[in-house]
């Protein structure tokens, strides 16, 4: 007989106000962690790119592709199953820990011994094999981190997760990674830092949760976890292939140096946009799972969150795209100048990709997994064929444009899928999307205007130019938000974030909403 889990781990049905409070609190901490992470990664990147050659980042990126390939099966979705399951027992926790550890050990051994055969499939570089073997240990470390982290997420304790991530980054990347690179270890310093960051999180999170470490080998204990988890794992694997086919094609067709340029541009656009979206998804998946049978609430949260997320990441993406030259030269240096057109395109593509990712969270939390598997499979084939065909005649820029078109189509397809499940109308999105497009337009025009005025000094003073462009983009964003076309968006911001705060009754806030 299954043993009931402790009260803090067992799911509780929260009323709407309590759920909203916990969600907003979690969003606040996750957003803070993402912003802190972005600043720390920028600082780390500014130092490490001056100590390590571009080819090294290409090798580490290629290693990451293979590791993520195995990572989507190394826990078989057991972590997400812990979060999504309505009623959790101690047997479920033991099954998740036992399964994750067994799979982590297996995949670590598999990658270690098959590294010479796997490496040439991604990148023809002799350094990839030893780096891949070293980083194969991350499967074991990640397995130890799966259960404690997911239990904290289930409890919506995102404050502690944020603190742990920050501490882990500082110790692993800021102290160990940079020290090793400075001492001449180069690529090994970059590889070791990533593993140490996960290890620090695993140790701290387990110390907080203290879940049982007793293994379990009864077949019945694994069935409820693997039934959901295996589908989620397969979907994540398809999403991984679809989102990394660009890396695979560039590595195979264009070489390590070009892959290094691409990975650094991808990193710059992911810092502010991807991290922010991840902050929201970490909170919204457990929140949506807890109300998966309440369709009116779920529909309302999806529409509101999609518009608010788009209002942040679409103008930000446009701004990065217009300021791509100054961003590349200032942050990672002139030797990465070939990454400028790459960043300009990826900055437009990434918001569509992440809005689609958010739509997929709704499918995960409600258990609509079959349609998601079919959709991801189709777009995987489309992406692979398109990028392979354009890679030689048009190079990495052609691959970026193919990625952009594919992600726009995928976003539209998911809107139609969720329209069927949640029964919303596209008119529900129209006022919000009009406001988002206006905001993005003002940001882009403002930054372009600053670039035009500062054109003679862009290359001579890139940092000052970037700061001036950021200021211009901020002014453009304010104009977009305050215009009459954004009244619906301002009302939504007020109701979600300001109405219950200590500023909620001030006349200035009401004036802001009714402009």
User: Comparing 333 with 27, which gets the higher pLDDT?
Assistant: 333
User: Comparing 107 with 273, which gets the higher pLDDT?
Assistant: 107
Q: Is residue 100 part of a domain?
A: yes
Q: What is the pLDDT of residues 385-428, one digit of tens each?
A: 999 999 889 989 999 999 899 999 999 999 999 988 888 888 88
Q: What is the pLDDT of residues 169-210, one digit of tens each?
A: 888 888 888 888 888 887 888 888 888 888 988 899 889 888
Res 87 pLDDT > 60: yes
User: Comparing 288 with 197, which gets the higher pLDDT?
Assistant: 197
Number of structural domains found in the chain? 1
Judged by DSSP in three states, 89 sits in strand
Which pLDDT belongs to residue 510? 46
Q: What average pLDDT does range 422-443 have in this prediction? A: 89
In the chain the first and final C-alpha atoms are separated, in Å, by 62
Res 2 pLDDT > 50: no
Res 514 pLDDT > 60: no
pLDDT band at 215 (very low <50, low <70, confident <90, very high): confident
Q: Is residue 491 part of a domain?
A: no
Which pLDDT belongs to residue 86? 67
Res 237 pLDDT > 80: no
Q: What is the pLDDT of residues 114-157, one digit of tens each?
A: 888 888 887 777 888 888 899 888 889 888 888 888 888 888 78
Res 35 pLDDT > 80: no
Q: Is residue 284 part of a domain?
A: yes
Q: Which domain holds residue 257?
A: 16-428
Q: Is residue 486 part of a domain?
A: no
Average confidence score pLDDT of the chain: 80
Residue 303 · residue 428 · CB < 8 Å? yes
User: Comparing 218 with 351, which gets the higher pLDDT?
Assistant: 351
HEC string of 31-51 equals HHHHHHHHHHHHHHHHHHCCC
HEC string of 417-476 equals HHHHHHCCCHHHCHHHHHHHHHHHHHHHHHHHHHHHHCHHHCCCCHHHHHHHHHHHHHHH
Res 342 pLDDT > 80: yes
Give the separation between CA 343 and CA 60, rounded to whole angstroms.
Answer: 19
Judged by DSSP in three states, 351 sits in helix
Q: Is residue 500 part of a domain?
A: no
Which pLDDT belongs to residue 7? 39
Residue 410 · residue 356 · CB < 8 Å? yes
Q: Is residue 400 part of a domain?
A: yes
User: Comparing 365 with 5, which gets the higher pLDDT?
Assistant: 365
Q: Is residue 498 part of a domain?
A: no
Res 498 pLDDT > 90: no
pLDDT band at 217 (very low <50, low <70, confident <90, very high): confident
In order of 240, 302, 342, the CA distances from 359 in angstroms are 16, 8, 26
Q: What is the pLDDT of residues 379-391, one digit of tens each?
A: 889 888 999 999 8
Q: Is residue 319 part of a domain?
A: yes
Res 287 pLDDT > 50: yes
């Amino acid at each position: 007989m299954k043993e009931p889990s402790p009260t803090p781990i067992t799911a509780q049905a929260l009323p709407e106000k309590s759920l909203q409070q916990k969600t907003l609190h979690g969003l606040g901490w996750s957003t803070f962690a993402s912003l802190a992470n972005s600043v720390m990664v920028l600082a780390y990147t500014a130092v490490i790119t001056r100590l390590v050659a571009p080819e090294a980042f290409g090798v580490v990126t290629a290693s990451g592709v293979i590791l993520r390939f195995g990572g989507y099966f190394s826990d078989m979705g057991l972590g997400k199953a812990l979060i999504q399951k309505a009623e959790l027992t101690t047997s479920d926790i033991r099954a998740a820990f036992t399964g994750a550890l067994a799979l982590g050990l297996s995949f670590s051994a598999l990658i270690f011994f098959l590294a010479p055969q796997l490496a040439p499939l991604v990148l023809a570089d002799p350094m990839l094999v030893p780096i891949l073997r070293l980083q194969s240990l991350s499967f074991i470390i990640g397995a130890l981190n799966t259960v404690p982290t997911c239990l904290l997420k289930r409890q919506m304790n995102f404050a502690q997760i944020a603190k742990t991530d920050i501490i882990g980054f500082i110790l692993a990347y800021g102290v160990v990674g940079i020290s090793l690179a400075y001492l001449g270890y180069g690529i090994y310093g970059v590889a070791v830092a990533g593993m140490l960051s996960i290890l620090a999180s695993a140790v701290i999170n387990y110390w907080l949760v203290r879940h049982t470490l007793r293994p379990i080998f009864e077949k019945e204990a694994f069935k409820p976890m693997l039934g959901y988890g295996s589908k989620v794992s397969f979907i994540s694997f398809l999403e991984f292939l679809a989102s990394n086919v660009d890396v695979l094609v560039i590595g195979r067709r264009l070489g390590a140096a070009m892959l290094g340029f691409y990975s650094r541009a991808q990193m710059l656009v992911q810092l502010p946009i991807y991290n922010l979206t991840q902050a929201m998804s970490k909170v919204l998946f457990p929140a949506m799972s807890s109300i998966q049978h309440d369709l009116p609430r779920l529909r309302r949260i999806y529409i509101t969150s999609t518009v608010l997320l788009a209002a942040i990441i679409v103008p930000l993406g446009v701004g990065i795209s217009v300021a791509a030259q100054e961003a590349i030269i200032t942050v990672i240096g002139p030797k990465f100048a070939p990454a400028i057109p790459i960043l300009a395109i990826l900055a437009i593509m990434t918001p569509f990709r992440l809005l689609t990712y958010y739509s997929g969270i709704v499918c995960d939390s409600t258990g609509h997994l079959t349609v998601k598997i079919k959709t991801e499979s189709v777009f995987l084939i489309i992406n692979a064929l398109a990028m392979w065909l354009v890679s030689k005649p048009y190079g990495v820029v052609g691959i970026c444009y193919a990625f952009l078109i594919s992600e726009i189509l995928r976003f539209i397809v998911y809107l139609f899928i969720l329209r069927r499940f949640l029964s919303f109308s596209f008119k529900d999105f129209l006022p919000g999307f009009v406001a988002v497009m206006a905001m993005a337009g003002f940001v882009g025009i403002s930054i372009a205007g600053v670039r035009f005025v500062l054109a003679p000094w862009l290359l001579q003073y890139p940092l000052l130019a970037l700061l001036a462009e950021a200021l211009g983009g901020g002014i453009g964003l304010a104009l977009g938000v305050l215009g009459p076309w954004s009244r619906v968006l301002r009302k939504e911001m007020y109701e979600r974030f300001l109405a219950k705060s200590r500023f909620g009754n001030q006349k200035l806030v009401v004036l802001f909403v009714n402009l």
